[in-house]
Structure 1
């Protein structure tokens, strides 16, 4: 019974993981972040002073990705902000949780590796294309005398008044050399923020080549394709603010939603059935345990009371160890003989 319950529990865990993988479109990007994090922590110079930027060289199979990292005091990061590559973190940001040291890792995925965001976040299906490499800024906990042995991601959150600015012009390699040198604010080029849950949010540039972010993550400059621009001009609409709104006007997006809905319903039904089987198995196990304890209790009482059959009735019997009674005449005779 224990092995059966364990098997059912494992099946439930597998189904939950499959559903999570099915509904998330950014699994490959998250795995890339973890790889960069682990390689950065392994190759960070422990004797490097706080606040000094270090460049990390990745293996040859990840060529084209440019990595910079810096270790900062959490309190200093909150009070004064920081600048790392194209990212300018304003003062007054919130760091949750706030360890003693914070490790910032800046990513420039280049033209080759940026395509996994275009594919994973379905920019082509939404009639958008990348016009810059994807830039990432991630924060992790760190120890004062080195990097953390068990790193976890730290949330760096800004506000509209104290945002995180991403200046794509600060690094010429961050701009596509295609003829976009005259990109200005409110042009067809937008800022794209790729969220961890698989969605994409779009916003206008705050100035040419500069985007504004509220938290750490991945950003890029994107441009509408001709089909999207024609639809935009004919409808006279404004800026699309999220990928769900784009999907709402795209047949492929509706089909994807339908598939996700059907998959979620089927998965939820299977999960409910297996969960019910697990509950039934646990109830059966509890009942059997109660019956076994009752049988043990009865066996103990029968052994203590020496139950025997009297006709058709079970009744306790006492052992014959009591002192036998003596007649009063015997005691009288014994007393007079002694005199």
Structure 2
């Protein structure tokens, strides 16, 4: 028999696990909340929901509700026969005027045109650095209307074969002075294209996607730096002189080295002159000694020594000067 403690244990486990599962299931939505393609899939689901609660009528616009984390965005859906869309088009679907001659690929009998208006979430899902949005980003995507409860449907390739699709924005932000507005187009593959604005608030396109009107951000001109004062380089320092200081330092160092080398050369030259003069003087003394009167050599014992000759000048006594 199962005890009461066992039931309490099972109840505790279930009570703890259920919130964890809910938190894990909401995690992918938070991680992908800023993906424009994931947003398209979510809005397709919410745009289709009004069709499942009533008998849908062809050619009637149904507004859908969006989840709380997408507050500020709106979504709508319009179901049409492809033949009627091709022959007549559809004018006045929110900001869009769809001309006749629209072709879809692959071919389907009925098509649902889903409308997006991202409102204040425009720059969050479609960031455009360097530009400011004057209008919300609006979108028009086509889906197969065979299954009105389907989720995650792929978009049809919707194209205009005669006249372009016109997007008329009803309200625009304040236009800064000196700038011109531009139409911006976001395709389903991450591409961005710009075009001129017609009649102040109208954009055109031959295919589906998301549209808006933007202006370039005005950045203040760069402040000119103050004029630089030329300064002599600080002795022993590495800054303050720039390239001129380094060149001047090299010039001073080269001058000092050249002076030292010149002094060494002069010193060597002076020593060589002194040595040359001394050698010449010694040579002259030797020549004079060799050219004088030779001394008589006499034998003294076993050695021979020079001996002076007799006095050649007769000495004169002092008494002889007296007459």
Distance 1:152 1:190 in 2: 30
Aligned pairs for 1:231-310 within 5 A: none
Q: Specify which of 128, 133, 136 is matched with residue 133 of structure 1.
A: 136
Report if the CA contact (8 A) 1:78-1:95 is conserved: no
TM-score normalized by structure 1?
Answer: 0.51
Distance 1:201 1:155 in 2: 18
1:98 counterpart residue number: 107
Distance 2:157 2:34 in 1: 19
What do you get for the CA RMSD once the two structures are aligned? 2.8
1:39 counterpart residue number: 46
Q: Specify which of 22, 32, 35 is matched with residue 28 of structure 1.
A: 35
User: What is the CA-CA distance between 1:182 and the residue it aligns to?
Assistant: 9.7
Per-residue CA deviations over 1:219-239 (Å, capped at 9, x if unaligned) read 0001011249x8xxxxxxxxx
Per mean C-alpha deviation after superposition, the further-off stretch among 130-139 and 26-35 is 26-35
Distance 1:202 1:62 in 2: 27
Per-residue CA deviations over 1:255-284 (Å, capped at 9, x if unaligned) read xxxxxxxxxxxxxxxxxxxxxxxxxxxxxx
What count of residue pairs does the alignment treat as equivalent?
A: 188
Q: Specify which of 196, 207, 213 is matched with residue 199 of structure 2.
A: 207
2:164 counterpart residue number: 163
Report if the CA contact (8 A) 1:54-1:68 is conserved: yes
Distance 1:53 1:164 in 2: 18
Q: Specify which of 210, 223, 231 is matched with residue 218 of structure 1.
A: 210
1:69 counterpart residue number: 77
Greater C-alpha radius of gyration:
2
Task: Say whether residues 1:89 and 2:81 are aligned partners.
Answer: no
Kindly indicate whether structure 1 or structure 2 has the higher relative contact order, using CA contacts under 8 Å at least 6 residues apart.
1
Distance 1:194 1:180 in 2: 22
User: What is the CA-CA distance between 1:61 and the residue it aligns to?
Assistant: 2.0
TM-score normalized by structure 2?
Answer: 0.53
Aligned pairs for 1:135-154 within 5 A: 135-143=138-146, 147=148, 149=150, 151-154=153-156
Report if the CA contact (8 A) 2:134-2:213 is conserved: yes
User: What is the CA-CA distance between 1:131 and the residue it aligns to?
Assistant: 1.3
Report if the CA contact (8 A) 1:87-1:165 is conserved: yes
User: What is the CA-CA distance between 1:196 and the residue it aligns to?
Assistant: 2.1
Report if the CA contact (8 A) 1:118-1:130 is conserved: no
Return closer, same or farther for 1:73/1:181 CA change in 2, 3 Å cut-off. Answer: farther
User: What is the CA-CA distance between 1:116 and the residue it aligns to?
Assistant: 2.3
Q: In structure 2, the residue corresponding to 1:98 is in which secondary structure?
A: coil
Return closer, same or farther for 1:72/1:148 CA change in 2, 3 Å cut-off. Answer: farther
List runs of 5+ in structure 1 lacking aligned partners: 1-25, 231-339
List runs of 5+ in structure 2 lacking aligned partners: 1-32, 222-323
1:16 counterpart residue number: none
Task: Say whether residues 1:54 and 2:62 are aligned partners.
Answer: yes
Report if the CA contact (8 A) 1:142-1:148 is conserved: no
